[in-house]
Chain A
Amino acid sequence: MASADALKVEGNKWFASGDYGKADSFYTQAIIKDPTNAAYFTNRALTRVRMEQWEAVVNDCQKAIELVPQNMKAYTYLGNALLNLGRPAEAFSASHKAYGLAIEAKSPSVSTIATACLAAKKARWELEETERMERESALLRDTQKMYRDTMGAEEAEEKCRALEVVFGKSDEARLQRREVPDYLIDMITFGIMFDPVVTKLGQSYDRATLINHLKRTQTDPLTKAPLTEADLRPNLALKAASEAFLKENGWAVDW
């Protein structure tokens, strides 16, 4: 009989060759042999991410996190699955957890995970926007109905039209504000900063991209003076500003 680890290795082979169904079944056998190894669950979770079996991914990740609480991979896949299941708020907290763990572990996936966090934020905003628009159009409908029920036809129509103008204006105002303030823009990606860190010079950058740059050369992008990851400090005020902005302007993630 093959050992659990041998079964996992076999699973990895099928995974690498793109046969996710076979990989899944080998990981499953490994799990039956040894249900205490978190890696078997995260490997199977990734296989199921590829097969887009999101509910199953969630289960595997939860199991893996029970076994190893600080499981970066599990939180990463979990965030991905929850986002695909249309649960952006939970997706965000999973991805955000993964992000923290990735920073700690100096993982090369930091940028990818940061992008996942932003995607979840945007999805959460979109969901809220849809709900808000539904609420508002219901409000408009109900109020118009009230006018029509209680007033003479002519007066009611006039009021209904006026109401539509007012509601329309509020939508316009919201759509016009599509600009990200300069102080939230990262000088490297030209996108919005999600986790700003400040250099000795006082300039802020998004952590994930700046770390990428420092891997190539340990210098300040502006002055070329020596700069290492240890020199960076989180810019908490700017981070709060970015969060507040994104809460109202989820579109800015893709901007």
Chain B
Amino acid sequence: MSLIAEKRLQKEFKKMLTGELPPGIKLAEANESDVMKPWSMDISLLHNNALYAGKTYRLSFKFNRQYPIEPPEVKFITATDREIPMHPHIYSNGVICLDLLSAGVGGGWSPVQSVETVCVSIQSMLEGNNINQRPEGDDQFVYGPQRRIKDINFVYDDPTV
């Protein structure tokens, strides 16, 4: 019996191959024979936001067996021509502070979300930003003791971003 997570990811994968993704969003890497392995998605912006103009950014998606009941672990990663975008909610190690990606009671994740909708949300999070800085305490967070993304309690009440 295959996992619900696996079946669902296969469908998302197939849809990406055959159907079309929203503009500015591309599948960079996924393993067709093992869809549970991490995926990479490339994101670029549609409007001329000076902060991100001409750049493409790469997101990594990690899924656990409870997906989509549980959210995927999503962060920006670096690669050739891919850096971590500047944003007051994105740490320099790629960790994103976004309600949608948070599990648990009060978290913004819902199982009707998908890789595609998460990409769209992150894309619009960048679109709407014009502050060229990292979150407060970035150094401490990035170079301090390592924690798993899921153990971090972000604060989502910043109405300015």
Contacts and interface: CB of A to CB of B under 8 A. Distances in A.
A224 B110 contact: yes
A115 interface: yes
Nearest to A119: B1
A222 B108 CA distance: 11
Given A209-B111, A216-B69, A222-B110, A189 B105 contact: no
B111 A191 contact: no
A216 B68 CA distance: 12
A188 B103 CA distance: 16
Given A112-B1, A213-B111, A216-B70, A190 B105 contact: no
Contacts of A111: 4
B112 A188 contact: yes
B127 interface: no
Q: Which of A119, A190, A212, A222 has the most CB of B within 10 A?
A: A190
A191 B7 contact: yes
Given A189-B8, A191-B8, A209-B4, A222 B112 contact: yes
Interface in A125-142: none
A188 B107 contact: no
Interface in A210-231: 212-213, 216-217, 219, 221-222, 224
Contacts of A187: 111-112
Interface string B91-109: 0000000000001110110
A189 B7 contact: yes
- Chain B interface residue count: which class? 10 to 19
B11 interface: yes
A220 B50 CA distance: 38
B42 interface: no
Contact of B105 (A115, A188, A213, A217): A217
A131 B102 CA distance: 51
Contacts of B7: 189-191
Interface string B38-61: 000000000000000000000000
B138 interface: no
B69 A213 contact: yes
Contacts of B70: 216
Given A112-B1, A115-B1, A212-B69, A221 B8 contact: no
A253 B108 CA distance: 31
B4 A221 contact: no
Q: Which of B12, B70, B107, B112 has the most CB of A within 10 A?
A: B112
Nearest to B68: A188
Nearest to A185: B11
Given A111-B4, A190-B12, A217 B107 contact: yes
B138 to A, nearest CB: 30
29 contacts: A112-B1, A115-B1, A119-B1, A187-B111, A188-B8, A188-B68, A188-B69, A188-B111, A188-B112, A189-B4, A189-B8, A189-B68, A190-B7, A190-B8, A191-B7, A209-B4, A209-B69, A209-B111, A213-B69, A213-B110, A213-B111, A216-B70, A217-B104, A217-B105, A217-B107, A219-B110, A221-B110, A221-B111, A222-B112
